[in-house]
Amino acid sequence: MLQDVIELDKKYYMNTFGDRLPVCFERGEGMKLYADDGKEYYDFLGGIAVNALGHSHQKFIEALKNQLDKVIHTSSLYYIENQAKLAEKIVTRTCADKVFFCNSGAEANEGAIKLAKIYNYKQGRDRYEVISLDKSFHGRTVATVAATGQTKYQAPYKELTNGFKQVAPNDFNALGSAVTDKTAAILLELVQGESGVYPLDEEYVKKVRRLCDERDIVLIFDEVQTGMGRTGYLFAHQWYGIYPDVFTCAKALGGGIPIGAVCAVDKIASAFEPGDHGTTFGGNPFATAAGLAVFKIYEDEDLVNRANKMGAYFAKRLNALKGKYPDKISDVRCAGLLIGIEVGAERGKAVFDALFKHGILTSLCGGKTIRLAPPLIISELDIELFISELDSILKGME
């Protein structure tokens, strides 16, 4: 079966992913995925920080089935009960006053950028520049590629959308020098996930917040990957204790059902008026039913607190392994259950491939960092399994 799928993929699907890992999953349960040949895998990547509830969570599946029996999609021409209730869930738990739902993280970031620009436009100011950081990742649309601070993603699509510039992370002088009277927004990932899990310094973020207050620049936090409990707090900015004007969310918000959100304080959110922005699918009854189910399960199972505790336990065990193999693990970077294990470019691919061979799903960032973003339902036994497998792999490497 796998070979048939590979042949169909090569024949009919655009080659944007190249040769993927040689596996096709047919079902999942909890932390585990099962391939079509019956082999069992442990999902320590969580669909790239999406499957926070694990796989086939019974209460989540029941909520989706219940909504399927009612209505899937209407349109934004009509009021949508689930949409309003999910917006309330986010607002009552964060610094946001208003929410707009879309379909993905990239769309959410696009929406946030548009919101920052129209806010300045309606203030009568000619501001259009957006400053982001080197090594950042904000999406694959034309504008979010321009915001992404990685040449490999930008090079094929030049000329890029005007007005975007990047500066080095944690270098406040560089950021300050980049700000002009045309600066509309500063866009930050509090933890740069795609480049290898690099948290920003708290003092740096505080200085950026003060700068934005002084210059009336819109501060946007991209929480597409760090949101929904990933860092041990519902959103990473709550971990930092520093609050944005706008933040974005996606990935785990829908538990695997596509949904994104632009969340903003009233001062900025009010810039969007009827006709200024919109969506066909965003926030439809089915997607927002998924989001409501995710929140309910988070509350019932205390998953944000669990992520905090399991993240601390994982960090402790990984740092112990780093002490055992100081020549093979150069760094361990953790933000709750968003984890980067730096093993070096000379062995990164080998470690990644060995983990996969042992039935452990991860991702490889920059050729040198093993990234983990497991479901928040993870247990100490699951963590010990990972530690044991990685220990065995490193032990066998010269």
Going by their DSSP bridges, the two strands 129-133 and 25-29 should be labelled as unpaired
Residue where a domain stops, chosen among 280, 301, 322: 301
275 and 389 part of one domain: no
Residue where a domain stops, chosen among 279, 301, 323: 301
- Residue 273 three-state SS: coil
391 and 253 part of one domain: no
Query: How far apart (Å, rounded) are the C-alpha atoms in residues 186 and 176?
Result: 11
Consecutive H or E run containing 154:
helix 151-154
289 and 306 part of one domain: no
25 and 96 part of one domain: no
Q: Check if the beta carbon of residue 226 is closer than 8 Å to that of residue 190.
A: yes
272 and 347 part of one domain: no
- pLDDT score of 233: 98
173 and 76 part of one domain: yes
Residue where a domain stops, chosen among 263, 281, 301: 301
Phi, psi values for residue 365, rounded to 5°: -110, 125
- Alpha carbon 203 to its chain centroid, in Å, reads 23
The pair of structure tokens assigned to 57 is: 């969570």
Tell me, what CATH number does 51's domain have? 3.90.1150.10
Name the residue range of residue 336's domain: 2-57+302-395
- pLDDT score of 223: 98
34 and 74 part of one domain: no
Q: Around Cβ 208, how many Cβ atoms within 10 Å?
A: 21
Mean pLDDT by 10 residues, the chain (398 residues): 94 95 97 96 98 98 98 97 98 98 98 98 97 97 95 91 96 98 98 95 98 98 98 98 98 98 98 97 98 98 98 98 97 98 96 98 97 98 98 92
Query: How far apart (Å, rounded) are the C-alpha atoms in residues 225 and 228?
Result: 8
Number of domains in the chain: 2
Peptide bond into 7 cis (omega under 30): no
Q: Around Cβ 386, how many Cβ atoms within 10 Å?
A: 24
Q: Check if the beta carbon of residue 252 is closer than 8 Å to that of residue 294.
A: yes
306 and 162 part of one domain: no
359 and 275 part of one domain: no
Strands, DSSP E only, in the chain?
25-29, 32-35, 40-43, 98-102, 129-133, 164-167, 183-188, 191-192, 198-199, 218-222, 246-249, 260-264, 331-335, 338-342, 360-361, 363-365, 369-372
Which residues on neighbouring strands pair with residue 205, listed in sequence order? none
- pLDDT score of 1: 84
178 and 167 part of one domain: yes
284 and 333 part of one domain: no
- pLDDT score of 23: 97
285 and 147 part of one domain: yes
Tell me, what CATH number does 288's domain have? 3.40.640.10
Three-state DSSP string of 61-126: HHHHHHHHCCCCCCCCCCCCHHHHHHHHHHHCCCCCCEEEEECCHHHHHHHHHHHHHHHHHHCCCC
